């Protein structure tokens, strides 16, 4: 980066609060500006044009944004014939030159467009928001799937673990960060500042979040942790206003009870596996008495599966309900041999095992509607997670405790009801 380009960045940073009138005076369309951005060889011009594109994009309606996505996706795609010819050349004579030609042919110019748009200060957050728009507006347009894959491919590199910063969140954290924890909490809603205080201030509560240097004031994902004596069996007990704080010498279990992804534009860019393992490692150093790392997790796909596959089932007994959940988690798979339940896929993919199932564990309206009030403990045995992960990925094997395996075998369909497969 040249000195002049660095200077221009500084000017942009100092004028963020000022009007973008000078940029609005450019009468070129956003597509014409994108073409100019791809064509320019000047770093300083690229910074100016990228800022113009992002400014114009922010003022588009949803209909105009969809048109923009469709235009970029079509006009900046790969040329199949050029790719075939470049591959033939490489197969005939593998060399640096023929490989570079093939790589250039196989990469659509819209990827370079996104790279160049990422140059101005604050652009990374704007591009994350742009992908959120793409996923929201273009979800029913098959022609935009490749464009989304291009952006996701870049985000996986830009947001890899080496760039992420793990920061503890506590009651003394800046107010704007605490506000975002309230806003982004996706599992157990935080209804007030007092409720947030109860989750952050006590000595037996922790919260950790991943941040990225390019968007330092926006958490990417965060996990809430309860430090307990033994394994909890319900979320209402864990979050009770009247609960007693657990003393440090009694703590033996770290409970990950809420994990929330914060940025819709980073969907399917995985952070959670790194987050849990890093937090478990850090807590082990802080609290040597910790012996168990476990979750208290919802089962968001349970009722949906039951209504679709077995609408005639009525489960009254707690034992039958737990058997039903065990069967669902262990045996019900998608066409790609992965568990139907998204939370199960996440934790099992990280190397956890299905340890325990609890009925009447979440009495909230959402808990009953999604999970029939049931919750699951996924156990993270830090010495086994790598092996468990490999078995899950290679074989689709769901590893569960003996208790859960036995529960699944005990499932009996109600009379006159269809049996699970």
For this structure, is 153 an active site residue? no
**Contact between 315 and 411 (Cβ < 8 Å):** no
CA distance 50 to 82: 28
Strand 375-379: give its sheet, edge to edge. Answer: 165-168, 205-211, 221-228, 253-261, 292-295, 375-379, 353-358
- Whether 347 is catalytic is yes
Token pair of 46, please? Answer: 């690229």
Owner of token pair 């009468």? 27
Given a contact cutoff of 8 angstroms between Cβ atoms, the answer to whether 204 and 251 are in contact is yes
Q: How far apart are CA 203 and CA 242, in angstroms?
A: 15
Is-contact 349 273, C-beta < 8 A? Answer: yes
CA distance 219 to 262: 6
Catalytic-labelled residue, pool 188, 212, 327, 347: 347
- Give the Å distances, CA to CA, from 378 to 88, 226, 254, 271, 296: 50, 15, 12, 18, 7
- Are residues 50 and 117 in contact, defined by beta-carbon separation less than 8 angstroms? yes
Residue pair 304/291 in contact (Cβ under 8 Å)? The answer is: no
171 CB-contact burial (10 Å; exposed 0-12 / middle 13-18 / buried 19+)? middle
In 3D, which of 108, 112, 113, 102 has the Cα closest to residue 146? 108
Out of 234, 297, 323, 371, which one is annotated catalytic? 297
Which of the residues are catalytic? 297, 347
């Amino acid at each position: 980066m040249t000195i002049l380009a660095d200077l221009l960045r500084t000017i942009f940073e100092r004028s963020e609060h000022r009007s973008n009138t000078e940029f609005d005076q450019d009468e070129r369309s956003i597509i014409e500006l994108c073409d100019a951005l791809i064509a320019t060889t000047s770093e300083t011009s690229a910074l100016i044009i990228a800022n113009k594109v992002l400014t114009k994009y922010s003022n588009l309606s949803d209909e105009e944004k969809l048109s923009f996505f469709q235009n970029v996706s079509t006009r900046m795609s790969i040329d199949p014939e050029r790719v075939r010819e470049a591959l033939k050349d490489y197969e005939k004579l593998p060399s640096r030159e023929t490989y570079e030609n093939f790589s250039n042919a196989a990469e659509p110019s819209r990827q370079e467009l996104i790279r160049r748009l990422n140059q101005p200060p604050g652009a990374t957050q704007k591009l994350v928001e742009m992908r959120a728009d793409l996923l929201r507006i273009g979800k029913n347009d098959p022609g935009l799937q490749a464009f989304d894959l291009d952006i996701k491919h870049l985000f996986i590199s830009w947001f890899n673990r080496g760039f992420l910063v793990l920061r503890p969140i506590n009651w003394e954290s800046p107010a704007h960060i605490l506000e975002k924890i309230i806003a982004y909490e996706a599992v157990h809603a935080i209804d007030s500042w007092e409720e947030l205080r109860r989750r952050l201030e006590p000595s037996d509560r922790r919260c950790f979040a991943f941040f990225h240097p390019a968007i330092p004031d926006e958490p990417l994902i965060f996990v809430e942790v309860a430090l307990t004596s033994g394994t909890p069996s319900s979320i209402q007990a864990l979050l009770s206003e009247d609960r007693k704080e657990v003393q440090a010498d009694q703590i033996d279990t770290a409970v990950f009870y809420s994990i929330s992804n914060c940025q819709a534009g980073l969907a399917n860019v995985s952070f959670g596996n790194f987050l849990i393992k890093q937090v478990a490692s850090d807590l082990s150093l802080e609290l040597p008495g910790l012996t168990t790392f476990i979750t208290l997790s919802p089962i968001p796909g349970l009722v949906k599966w039951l209504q679709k596959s077995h609408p005639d089932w009525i489960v009254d007994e707690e034992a039958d309900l737990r058997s039903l959940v065990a069967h669902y988690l262990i045996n019900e798979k998608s066409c790609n041999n992965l568990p139907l339940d998204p939370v199960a896929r996440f934790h099992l993919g990280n190397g956890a095992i299905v340890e325990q199932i609890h009925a009447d564990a979440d009495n909230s309206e959402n808990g009953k509607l999604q999970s029939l009030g049931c919750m699951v403990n996924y156990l993270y045995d830090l010495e086994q997670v790598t092996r468990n992960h490999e078995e899950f990925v290679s074989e689709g094997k769901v590893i569960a405790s003996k208790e859960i395996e036995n529960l699944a075998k005990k499932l009996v369909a109600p009379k006159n009801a269809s049996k699970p497969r």
